[in-house]
Amino acid sequence: MIRTIRHYIEKEALLNPGGKVIVGLSGGVDSVVLLYLLHRLGYECTAAHCNFHLRGEESVRDEAFAGQLAASFPVPFYKQDFDTYVVAKEQGISIEMAARDLRYEWFETLRKNLHADAIAVAHHKDDSIETLLLNIIRGTGIKGLTGIKPKTGFVVRPLLCVSKSEILKFSEKKELSFITDSSNLQDEFTRNKIRNQVLPLLETINPAVREALMQTMNNLDEASKIYDAEIEKACKCVFDKEKGSIDIARLKSFPSPESVLFELLKGYGFGKEVIREINKAVDSQSGKEFYSDKYRLVRDRTEFLLLPLDNQEKKEYLINRNEFFLEFPFRMEINCGKIEKDFKIDRNKQTACLDFDKLQFPLTLRKWQMGDKFIPFGMNSFQKISDFFNNNKFSKPEKEKTWLLVSGKEIVWIVNHRIDERFKITENTKNWYIIKIL
């Protein structure tokens, strides 16, 4: 396998001969084999271990093992502790995402401090296959179907040319010591479910499914090169960067205007749902406006105008069915699930407990408008929002700062104040949807 890895490193131009490299060392078999191989191939290795403190005593054990292993080579060893749960909560992201971000941020800091050429991580063929399936499940474009790349910036992946089984056989042959992360054997996380349940099931249909998926990714990677080239031409044709304008007639001349809009606008912070709405506005009248966190896109007569917000407050936000955290216009935590016997409704005004099946996605967060009306919780007739404000003695600034959650054309919640009677959880509710203002 040493020759295979050497050839792959040369083919993909991952590392300079004898170069200085930071090696991510968790203590698992993949990272142990990676460190062993790079050390044998003559690279100047430094082992780096992250302790995310997610598994109690196991985390302590892993750190100690990684330090002892690095000393046995010997190579320099660095470690870093992270309060991952706190970071995930503060940033409103998953534990997995927080750990990933913390890991790569620290690796890059270490690389700069040590003047290393690259950061080597132990992703292998099976990881790339799992990423493909994970992206398919979540929904993705062509880029998400091409698997993990051998090199991303300063991060290199020398083991992508070998499978997990090959790594295990090599480690057994060389009698390498490693530790097993018990969470990898559980189905707590989505990726582990794919690894431990989905792939074994697919292998009952096609024993060579892993090879087939790898070939599919290779084919799509080649196809993506054509896609990228054509998208680049299209963006140059329709977008005047100096003016910030997108020519609608030229945009419509391409087979997929939505794809061009997506690739053009994603760099300006516009999400998929908003871009779908922008694409619909291609054939609508002028005047419509769309917002990202820093930009406003205005539908003019013959073009879309991309304008910086300049600290103007955004007028609308879309909430997709699969979104569970929002930072704007305020921090929100969203959850959903089936009604169980022990379910309790949170009566806090900063929380909206809603009947999921009555909602139409994407939901919209917007400011109130004259003529808006809803049925206040506990009542059976409509009331104008303006009357609700007056009855509850809202000041003018309070009215201007108040947001509405809207489903289709119906108001669901005057945020932080009152939900609509029609969307409340009842004895007939099967699925709940809860939004909490943090």
pLDDT per position as a tens digit, 230-244 = 999 999 999 999 888
What's the confidence (pLDDT) of residue 183? 59
Selection from 3-7, 136-140, 318-322, 395-399 with the highest mean pLDDT: 3-7
What's the confidence (pLDDT) of residue 93? 81
**Which residues does 173 contact at the CB level (< 8 Å), separation at least 6?**
none
Q: Work out the angle at residue 270's Cα, subtended by the Cα atoms of residues 229 and 360, and round it to the nearest 5 degrees.
A: 120
Task: Convert the pLDDT of each residue in 113-142 to its tens digit.
Answer: 999 999 999 999 999 999 999 999 888 888
- Are the CB atoms for 158 and 30 separated by under 8 Å? no
Alpha carbon distance 277, 48 (integer Å): 45
Q: Token pair of 195, please?
A: 């690894």
Alpha carbon distance 350, 404 (integer Å): 13
Distances (CA, A) of 216 to 148, 165, 169, 220, 254: 13, 20, 26, 6, 27
Strand partners, 239: 246
What's the confidence (pLDDT) of residue 110? 97
CA 318, distance to chain mean position in Å, is 17
Q: Per-residue pLDDT for 184 more than 80?
A: no
For range 326-349, the mean pLDDT? 87
- Are the CB atoms for 167 and 124 separated by under 8 Å? yes
Alpha carbon distance 164, 158 (integer Å): 13
Share of the chain above pLDDT 90, in %: 70
- Are the CB atoms for 126 and 195 separated by under 8 Å? yes
Question: Could you tell me which CATH number the domain at 241-308 has?
Answer: 3.30.465
Q: Per-residue pLDDT for 76 more than 90?
A: yes
Selection from 358, 359, 355, 322 nearest residue 339 by Cα = 355
Alpha carbon distance 69, 64 (integer Å): 9
CA 112, distance to chain mean position in Å, is 26
Q: Per-residue pLDDT for 395 more than 80?
A: no
- Are the CB atoms for 32 and 171 separated by under 8 Å? yes
E-assigned strand segments in 160-258: 239-240, 245-247
| Banded model confidence at residue 288, pLDDT cuts 50, 70, 90 | confident
What's the confidence (pLDDT) of residue 200? 94
318-437: what fold?
Answer: Phenylalanyl-tRNA Synthetase; Chain B, domain 3 (3.50.40)
Domain ranges of the chain: 2-212, 241-308, 318-437
| Banded model confidence at residue 410, pLDDT cuts 50, 70, 90 | very high
Task: Tell whether the torsion through CA atoms of 102, 105, 110 and 111 is positive or negative.
Answer: positive
| Banded model confidence at residue 259, pLDDT cuts 50, 70, 90 | very high
Task: Convert the pLDDT of each residue in 37-61 to its tens digit.
Answer: 999 999 999 999 999 988 888 889 9
Average pLDDT, the chain: 91
Selection from 222, 311, 331, 320 nearest residue 276 by Cα = 320
Peptide bond into 74 cis (omega under 30): yes
Determine which of 129-138, 378-387, 408-417 has the lowest per-residue pLDDT on average: 129-138
For range 361-367, the mean pLDDT? 93
Alpha carbon distance 168, 171 (integer Å): 5
Q: Does domain 2-212 have CATH number 3.40.50.2000?
A: no
